[in-house]
Structure 1
Amino acid sequence: MSKVAGREKRIVITTAALLAVGGGAAFAYWSAMGQGDGTAQTGNTTDFTITSTVTSGGPLSPGGPTQTLTFTVTNPGSGVQKLSAVNVTVADTEGTLWDSGSGCSSADFALGTPALTATEIPAGGTASGTVTLQMKDRAGINQNGCKNVTVPLHFVAS
Structure 2
Amino acid sequence: MHKNTRKRAAAVATGAALALIAGGVAYGYWTTGGSGTGSASTGTVGDVTVNATSTAVTGLYPGGPAQGISGNFDNPNSGSVYIAKVNVAVSAGFSKQADATKPACTAADFNIVQPGAVDAQVPAGTAQGSWTGATIQLVNGAANQDNCKGVTVPLTFTVVN
TM-score range, shorter chain: 0.5 to 0.7
Alignment partners' CA distance in 2, 1:111 and 1:64: 13
SS in 1 for 2:96: coil
Cα distance between partner residues in 2 of 1:129 and 1:66: 17
- Contact 1:57-1:65 within 8 A present in 2 as well: no
> Which deviates further from its counterpart, 104-113 or 25-34?
25-34
Residues 66-115 of structure 1, C-alpha deviations (whole Å, 9 max, x = no match): 21111212322233322122111111xxxx24112332111111001212
Structure 2: any 5+ residue segments left out of the alignment?
A: 1-22, 99-103
**How far apart in 1 are the matches of 2:53 and 2:135?**
11
CA distance in 2, matches of 1:136, 1:127: 31
- % identical aligned pairs: 36
- Alignment RMSD (CA, Å): 2.6
TM-score scaled by structure 2? 0.66
Partner of 1:135: 138
Q: How many residues align?
A: 129
Q: Which moved more, 1:62-71 or 1:104-113?
A: 62-71
Structure 1 CA distance for aligned equivalents of residues 28 and 111 of structure 2: 81
d(CA) in 2 for partners of 1:36 and 1:83? 39
Q: Structure 2 matches for 1:70-149, cutoff 5 A?
A: 70-91=70-91, 96-102=92-98, 103-124=104-125, 126-130=128-132, 131-139=134-142, 141-149=143-151
Which segments of structure 1 move beyond 6 Å, counting only runs of 4 or more?
Answer: none
Structure 1: gaps (5+ residues): 1-24
Equivalent residue, structure 1, for 2:157 = 155
Q: CA deviation at 1:33?
A: 4.8
SS in 2 for 1:110: strand
- State the alpha-carbon separation in 2 of the partners of residues 151 and 137 from structure 1: 16
Tell me if structure 2 keeps the 8 A contact 1:56–1:67.
no
- Higher mean C-alpha deviation, range 26-35 or range 101-110: 26-35
Counterpart amino acid of residue 49 in structure 1: T
**Secondary structure of the residue that 2:53 maps to in structure 1?**
strand
Equivalent residue letter for 2:145: Q
